[in-house]
Chain A
Amino acid sequence: MERYTQDIENHYFELRKFRHDYQNILTSLEHYIIQEDIHGLKTYFYSNIKKHSSDILNKEYRLKDLSKIKISPIKSIIASKLIYAQDKELNASFEALDTIGDISMDTVLLVRILGIFLDNAIEELLSLEKGELLIGMIKNADHVLIIIQNTCRKDIPNIQTLQKPNFSTKTSGRGLGLSNALEIIRLCPNVFLETIIEDRAFLQKIIIYDKEGE
């Protein structure tokens, strides 16, 4: 819960930053308009604003599918991690084709798992200083599939080693994340995890089967 609150705060902070920028842009535009300096406005618009807007739009484009997730806590955790990753100049994107309105798993548990998986993915990418993070959510006939794929180091240990309770690629006092997430998944009868290491990609697929009568 604490982790989640923290994510919301970060998210909110991003929004405030954006509002602040937006305000500044409007003010600067107004300056040219009051002066009736069309030429200056043109130059300023094309050299400054248009450039940044493509930046924003580009970022937004890669997040736009988030609006298809109708479960706010899930949307928030993914949004905040993605924005954090993009802020760190990492190549991160989210995609979903269908609207996702309900998932047959306790939301708090799913938020915890996603938080851990995404933190690990971002940490790995930061240490590599390159690579990409792909997140996808797919609704199928009897289940929802969540995919998290990140570039990973060449000499990544085997999956069993990564999953050990005290294992961490960083030193001391860390490394409980993945083993906690794993335990949550293994206790949910309708949730199945697949982990693959292939071609320098670390891929996690979470399959959540719909519960009958829901």
Chain B
Amino acid sequence: MLSVFVCEDDLNQRTHLEKYINDYIMIEELDAKLVLSTDNPYDILNYLKSNVHTRGIYFLDVDLKSDITGIGLASEIREIDTIGNIVFVTTHSELTYLTFLYKVEAMDYIIKDTPGSICQRIQDCLHVANKRYLNDRTGEKKIFKVKIGNQIRGIEHSEIMFFESGLVPHKVILHTFNSQIEFYHTIHELANIGEEFYRCHKSFVVNKTNIKNIDRVGKVIEMINGEFCLASSRSIKGLLK
């Protein structure tokens, strides 16, 4: 079950949030429940400490009139629920967009000043969190987990084009459909993360399902996103088999 949490000190706003959440869970028949709605950040931390396997989505007010702020609370939640979905709900005056998104790798940032869109944004967040939860639970989609900064990110295998080894030892560059991510790893271990991955060059591991074209003469492989990776003659033979 996906556990939903609310931490908001304004009773009126908290009641609204609860209603939006409960309505959406009921209408969409989600395997989710609003387990805790409170004005006290420590209620959430205490709950998590006694339920360490919680998979949660957390709607947090930033200014909590407590000795910890929403950001501090989010960091502590992360310590326990490392892949939890954190959403900040805040007023416009507190807006520092990037900080909220990246300090604790929040999922979203909802501004209270536009009441009309709050309900929609909350439902969007619940929708995404539920999708992530289902993917993880069924294991239907294969996910490559990578630690980036203080966050563990899950990337679907189908999104991965290839891995490229970096210029310094243990640095690998992951090319996805629309991004590049550098992280700490060794290239030779990456050929083993799934059967669709293939060591096509001493510096490259390619996802065979995302190949668009193989140039045997030029010894390059073109991917479906238009990027290229190198291939050795011997590995091309292996690929064409």
Q: With A141-B150, A160-B228, A192-B148 as known contacts, state yes or no: A95 contacts B99, CB within 8 Å.
A: yes
Given contacts A95-B97, A187-B167, 15 further A-B contacts (CB under 8 A): A95-B96, A97-B71, A136-B97, A138-B103, A142-B150, A147-B98, A158-B226, A159-B178, A159-B179, A159-B227, A161-B226, A186-B171, A189-B168, A192-B184, A198-B179
Q: With A95-B97, A186-B166 as known contacts, state yes or no: A145 contacts B102, CB within 8 Å.
A: yes
Chain B residues lying within 8 Å of A147, measured Cβ to Cβ, are 98, 102
Chain B residues lying within 8 Å of A186, measured Cβ to Cβ, are 166-168, 171, 182
Chain B residues lying within 8 Å of A157, measured Cβ to Cβ, are 226
Chain B residues lying within 8 Å of A136, measured Cβ to Cβ, are 96-99, 102
Chain A residues lying within 8 Å of B149, measured Cβ to Cβ, are 140, 143, 145, 207
Chain A residues lying within 8 Å of B227, measured Cβ to Cβ, are 158-161
Residue from B102, B166, B225 in contact with A158 in the complex, judged by beta carbons closer than 8 Å: B225
Residue from A140, A192, A197 in contact with B103 in the complex, judged by beta carbons closer than 8 Å: A140
A147 CB to nearest B CB, Å: 5
B29 CB to nearest A CB, Å: 29
Chain B residues lying within 8 Å of A205, measured Cβ to Cβ, are 102
- In the complex, are the beta carbons of A134 and B98 less than 8 A apart? yes
B144 adjacent to chain A (CB < 8 Å): no
- The SS class assigned to the A binding surface is strand
- In the complex, are the beta carbons of B99 and A97 less than 8 A apart? yes
Residue from B150, B181, B226, B228 in contact with A194 in the complex, judged by beta carbons closer than 8 Å: B181
Query: What is the number of residues of chain A that contact chain B, defined by CB distance less than 8 Å?
Result: 35
A8 adjacent to chain B (CB < 8 Å): no
A15 adjacent to chain B (CB < 8 Å): no
A149 adjacent to chain B (CB < 8 Å): yes
Cα of A16 to Cα of B178 in the assembled complex, Å: 43
Chain A residues lying within 8 Å of B20, measured Cβ to Cβ, are none
- In the complex, are the beta carbons of A138 and B102 less than 8 A apart? yes
Chain A residues lying within 8 Å of B148, measured Cβ to Cβ, are 192, 194, 207
Q: With A160-B227, A187-B167, A189-B168 as known contacts, state yes or no: A194 contacts B179, CB within 8 Å.
A: yes
B98 CB to nearest A CB, Å: 3
